[in-house]
Structure 1
Amino acid sequence: MSGATTAAAGASTATGTRRPFRFGRWFRATGWRHGVGVVMSIFAIFPLLYVLSASLNPSGTLISANALFSIFDFGSYIELFDLPQQPYAAWYGNTLVIGITTSVCTVFLGAMAAYSFSRMRFVGRRVGLLAVLLVQMFPQLLAVVAIFLLLNGISDIFPAIGLDSQIGLIMVYLGGALGVNTYLMYGFFNTVPTSIDEAAKIDGAGHARIFFSIILRLVAPILAVVGLLSFIGTTNEFVIASIVLIEPEKQTLAVGLYQFVSDEFSKNYSIFAAGAVLAALPVMALFLYLQKYIVSGLTAGSVK
């Protein structure tokens, strides 16, 4: 009898110490964060859903797409590949070739430059780092006129890398991206202990073997981040690509898709939205594949 009374008293005591749920207290502590998260999610997802809905609406106007997913018609996706004057398939291939080539070359050249600044000591090292940082203060848009005149002059001597050349456009992208990516990689390379390099040198390894066999594997997160950012920036770039590439067969998606909404009397937002949805697939696939490297790659180099 006494045992049962003690158990009941303990249960009542435990029940009495449990705080009742109060919405106001929960909202002040953590609830408002959930509210902010929901609002930001809606703010970010709604434009994507609207574009997807517009791509499935064959009317060709954005006003008729106000009712989300009221019509499901894939005619715009089929028509997108049946327009000879707008070769969407060629634009898609050009974008992938230019984006992949630029990102791979950016990662490779930036990694070599960052390794040199991080591991080697030479005259002008500090000045070079400051110059790399200062150059990035000026956007590449300021050099559009100079880039056009330079490529136009190169076309007379080396047409393969001049105006209306995809190789020339890749070289322009590489020149504009090396500075900021080198500085970003430099901070990450500094987090790798130099004792690893010293141990490899004792075993007879040179700088090239250390760089390709050891360092590149340890800095894989920042390589993935730089490659992803370079690919996204290249595929979304419009101004320089529209100036350098002239022939429709050589243009990229950003330049080619603009033709569907640039004409005053022949705008077709449905085909434009369908092209935009398909253009986003490679970026989404690459982002999901490299997602595990993104957080560590962006934050690890910031402590140096």
Structure 2
Amino acid sequence: MNAIDTSSTVGTNDPDDTSTRAVTAGNTRGVYERRPFNFGRWFRATGWRHVVGIVMIVFSCFPLLFVLSSSLNPQGTLTGSNALFSAIGFESYLRILSSPDIPYTSWFMNTLLVAGITAIATVFLGALAAYAFSRMRFTGRRFGLVSIVIIQMFPQLLAVVAIFLLMSKIGDWFPALGLNTHIGLIMVYLGGALGVNTFLMYGFFNTVPKEIDEAAKIDGASHARIFFTIILRLVAPILAVVALLSFIATVNEFVVASVILIDPEKQTLAVGLTKLVSNPRYADWSAFCAGAVMAALPVMALFLYLQKYIVGGLTAGSVK
């Protein structure tokens, strides 16, 4: 008596049930009919994005291909490199590595030393400052954050003369920190990079829930233990981004390095390679391009190694 007939039920979840398909009147074809391809409709919807992307890729890759072609050109001139890869040879690489007048190996090692120490110190000191601004409440906290932002409005180039005079006076008292020293150059780089990197890491630290700190404090953990064992692991993406940006900026920096480093054996790649083309009559553009290509290899390797952290590190701190 209470049996219910389910044989006439429609709209079941069975994917093979043909009763769930909408069928037009007088026509056995379903509503999921595939429309023919229309180029105009596709171009208005998504096609123009592909065109813009291809143009930007070509625009970005052309200078790289030109430098690579110039480094392989035995003629050593830029005008002879207008035709990409018209002549291929490795004489420029051998000349810049074996010439006694070009201490390229010393420049390369100096650059790696200065950039590596600057990146590590920037990450460590910036993380300490960002943790303090994010987790602690003290007098002058807001003023310190605002000061960091305002100071970054003035480019470091404006302070080159002041930096030179300051380092000259410091060298009279502490020669190891004065002019023509790598430690002095690193100190200058740290002073210019800590502000913006601290503010960048401060935004990322705010995305870490404070309940984690409170739970650790209940278990008896101090600020130092929380910072080194918990927070640093959670903010690894922003640490990788700051290290990468600091490393790239140090490798490419020229003005401050040219002012502080005087001895050719202590100069960095940006300063040393400029000497190869400083004289227009004897400019060796092929060797310059070869040195630039080899200088880009460690930056590319570090970028590829930290690539998985870059997107998350740059965007996570901006949504808080």
- TM more than 0.5: yes
Q: 1:12: Cα distance to partner?
A: 7.0
Deviates more, 1:256-265 or 1:187-196: 256-265
1:129 to 125, 140, 145: 145
1:288 to 285, 304, 307: 304
2:162 to 134, 141, 146: 146
1:20 to 14, 29, 36: 36
Distance 1:39 1:245 in 2: 40
Amino acid at match of 2:112: L
Q: 1:83: Cα distance to partner?
A: 2.1
**Residues 214/16 of structure 1: CA separation in 2 closer, same or farther (3 Å cut):** closer
Alignment of 1:1-304 (within 5 A): 13-14=29-30, 17-304=33-320
Superposed CA deviations along residues 222-258 of structure 1, whole A, max 9, x for unmatched, are 0000000000000000000000000000000000000
Aligned to 1:6: none
Amino acid at match of 1:142: L
Normalising by structure 1, we get a TM-score of 0.95
Normalising by structure 2, we get a TM-score of 0.90
Distance 2:28 2:102 in 1: 76
Superposed CA deviations along residues 49-76 of structure 1, whole A, max 9, x for unmatched, are 1100100001011111112112220010
Q: 1:13: Cα distance to partner?
A: 2.5
Q: Is the 8 A contact 1:151 1:163 kept in 2?
A: yes
Q: Secondary structure at the match of 1:81?
A: helix
Superposed CA deviations along residues 134-183 of structure 1, whole A, max 9, x for unmatched, are 11010111110000000011111111110111100000000000000000
- Higher Cα Rg, which structure: 2
Distance 2:165 2:252 in 1: 23
Distance 2:265 2:32 in 1: 76
Q: Secondary structure at the match of 1:84?
A: coil
Distance 2:256 2:126 in 1: 22
Q: Percent identity?
A: 70
Distance 1:33 1:96 in 2: 39
Distance 2:68 2:267 in 1: 24
Deviates more, 1:81-90 or 1:279-288: 81-90
Distance 1:17 1:237 in 2: 60
Q: What is the number of equivalent residue pairs in this alignment?
A: 297
